[in-house]
Each structure stands twice: as C-alpha cells, then as structure tokens.
C-alpha cells in the first residue's frame, strides 16, 4: 500500500482490508475485489476520510447489502466504505409516548428493520417486505416494488457532503422518483421514517401477504441481484412499462451467456450459477437490451448498479 493511499486513513479509527473480495459479498456472489475496503468506526473519522478522498480525487463507493450490485471481474480501485459499525447500524424509536418516527442507520439491514417495526405494530415500511437492502442503499435508489417504495415513508435523511459536513434533509426538500432520489451527497448516514401504530397481527398478515407474492413471482431461491432493468417509459403514454414483460415478449426467458441466465420465472431477473463470471452477466445484459430494442424499439436501462475499475460512481 503506497504512502499516499495510507495517508487517507493512517491516523483514523478505521479497519482496512486490502484486496478485499467484495464481489463474493454481493447477492450475485461473483465479481472482483476492492483495492481497499474501509470500515469506519465513527462519524467523525468517516467525515475526515470522505473529505480526504474528495480532495485527492480518490474514487469513493459505499457497499451496502450488495443486493443490487454487480462488481466487474477486474474489481474496483479507490476506497469502498462498509458502514457496519454500531454508529451506522443502530435503530432508534421515540423515547416516550406514541411512536411516530423511527431512525435507522444507513448500514442497518432493511429486512431486520421491517420485521422489528412489524413486531411492534408500527406501519410505514411493510411495503419493503422481502426487499433485500441496507437502509442507506434502499433510500439512495428509492427501492420498492408492487406495494410501494421506501420513499413513501421517509421523514428525513442525514448525509455527509463532499466537504465532510453532516446535513439533514427534511421531507419537504426530498424528491423520490422511480428508483432515484435527489440526494446530492456521496454518503447517507441515517434515515428517519414516519410510522403509525396499528394492530400487530393485521400488520403481520400484510407482511406475509407481500412475502407470498414475491415468492410466487420471483426466483428468490436463485442467485440474482433483483430486477436487472428499470421499467421503461412508454414513449406514447409516458407510463411505465414492465421490463419483464418486454423481455418475455421478445422470447428471451432462458437465454444464457456462460453461467448467466434470464430467469424462466421472471424475465427481469438474471440468475447465476457457481463459477459464473461478472462478464457473463454484462454480456447477457447487453444482449437482452439489443434484442428487446430490435423487437419493440424500446431501450432498457440497467437497474443493477455496476462497479468497474476506473469509473466514478454518482
């Protein structure tokens, strides 16, 4: 490790892994390694590291649950952050009185947060049942599905700016679109959610219903990264079209490149088997886009985040 690189964090309270196998930590379980995987232990040290990375033009990425991510075979350069220390994973509820809001760290596991809120009889996040993500990753892309999106219940979001300053954005300053937000900062610290007390048994049944729907329509037992493509806008009606339906209508279910296959259960899922290379997935995604465009003239855009060496993430 060069002295210039180590100077980014040598005096900070962080854990550093070199040549870290982050591809294996994604839901795909394939792909390359990170030159540096850094686990900050405090917000202050994270802020300093972010500031130094920006000043030195060092690529900076945040690895959440890895559920919507493909790491290229050649891996990634720069610094990859893993916000798994307690300051970034804690979940806090109202200290007194009725629970109206809950605050969850960006590194908290969304599935656990949803289940904990469900046990407490707190409605507001049931639409996220069965969606694998960290809280920060879900907020960053406004993750969601047929039952709604995480932005539906966001109360406020705290971020670190590129200058390493903490900024809290209230709901009225946030815009949640289809798989996007207007958050301008590179690192989310936490998100607060508006919740409503309700009957725990009824809420539990709703969550079970959502899980059952996902299990019946998606290849949950196979290795994938969720929906491969964003649902495109119809150029005439400007309504969202189902990418899975377009892929199905183009006759692409079961199409394979190497160990990557378009799921026969849901056309918008690309599954992999052991030994698959990330390049197999990338080539299959390109092939699907080409054939869907040739079939109906609609261009699909990936929903999966793709990390490549030498590229900057948004």
In the annotation, is 227 catalytic? yes
The structure tokens listed for 70 are 């493909």
3-state secondary structure 115-163: HHHHHCCEECCHHHCCCCCEHHHHHHHCCEECCEEHHHHEEEEEEECCC
- Per annotation, catalytic residue among 179, 283, 308, 309: 179
Q: CA neighbours within 13 Å on the CB side: how many for 267?
A: 18
In the annotation, is 53 catalytic? no
- Per annotation, catalytic residue among 61, 103, 227, 289: 227
Helix, strand or coil for residue 204?
Answer: helix
- Per annotation, catalytic residue among 33, 53, 159, 303: 303
Cβ-based neighbours of 314, under 8 Å, separated by 6 or more:
none
Contact 129, 207 (CB under 8 A): yes
How many angstroms separate the CA atoms of 193 and 151, rounded? 9
In the annotation, is 205 catalytic? no
Residues tagged active-site: 179, 227, 303
């Amino acid at each position: 490790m060069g002295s210039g690189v180590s100077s980014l964090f040598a005096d900070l309270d962080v854990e550093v892994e070199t040549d870290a196998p982050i591809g294996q930590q994604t839901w795909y379980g394939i792909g390359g390694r990170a030159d540096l995987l850094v686990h900050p232990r405090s917000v202050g040290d994270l802020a300093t590291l972010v500031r130094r990375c920006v000043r030195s033009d060092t690529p900076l990425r945040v690895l959440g649950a890895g559920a919507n991510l493909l790491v290229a075979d050649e891996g990634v350069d720069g610094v990859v952050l893993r916000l798994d220390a307690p300051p970034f994973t804690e979940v806090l509820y109202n200290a007194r009185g009725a629970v109206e809001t809950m605050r969850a760290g960006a590194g908290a596991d969304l599935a656990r947060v949803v289940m904990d809120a469900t046990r407490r009889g707190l409605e507001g996040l049931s639409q996220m049942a069965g969606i694998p993500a960290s809280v920060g990753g879900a907020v960053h892309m406004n993750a969601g599905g047929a039952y709604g999106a995480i932005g539906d219940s966001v109360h406020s979001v705290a971020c670190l700016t590129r200058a390493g300053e903490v900024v809290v954005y209230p709901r009225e300053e946030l815009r949640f679109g289809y798989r996007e937000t207007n958050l301008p900062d590179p690192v989310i610290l936490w998100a607060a959610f508006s919740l409503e007390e309700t009957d725990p048994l009824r809420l539990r049944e709703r969550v079970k219903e959502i899980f059952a729907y996902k299990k019946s329509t998606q290849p949950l037992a196979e290795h994938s990264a969720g929906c491969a493509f964003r649902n495109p806008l119809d150029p005439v009606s400007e309504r969202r079209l189902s990418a899975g339906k377009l892929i199905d209508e183009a006759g692409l279910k079961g199409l394979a490149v190497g160990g990557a296959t378009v799921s026969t259960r849901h056309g918008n899922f690309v599954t992999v088997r052991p030994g698959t290379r990330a390049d197999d997935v990338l080539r299959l995604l390109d092939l699907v886009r080409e054939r869907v465009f040739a079939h109906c003239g609609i261009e699909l855009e990936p929903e999966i985040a793709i990390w490549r060496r030498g590229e900057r993430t948004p």
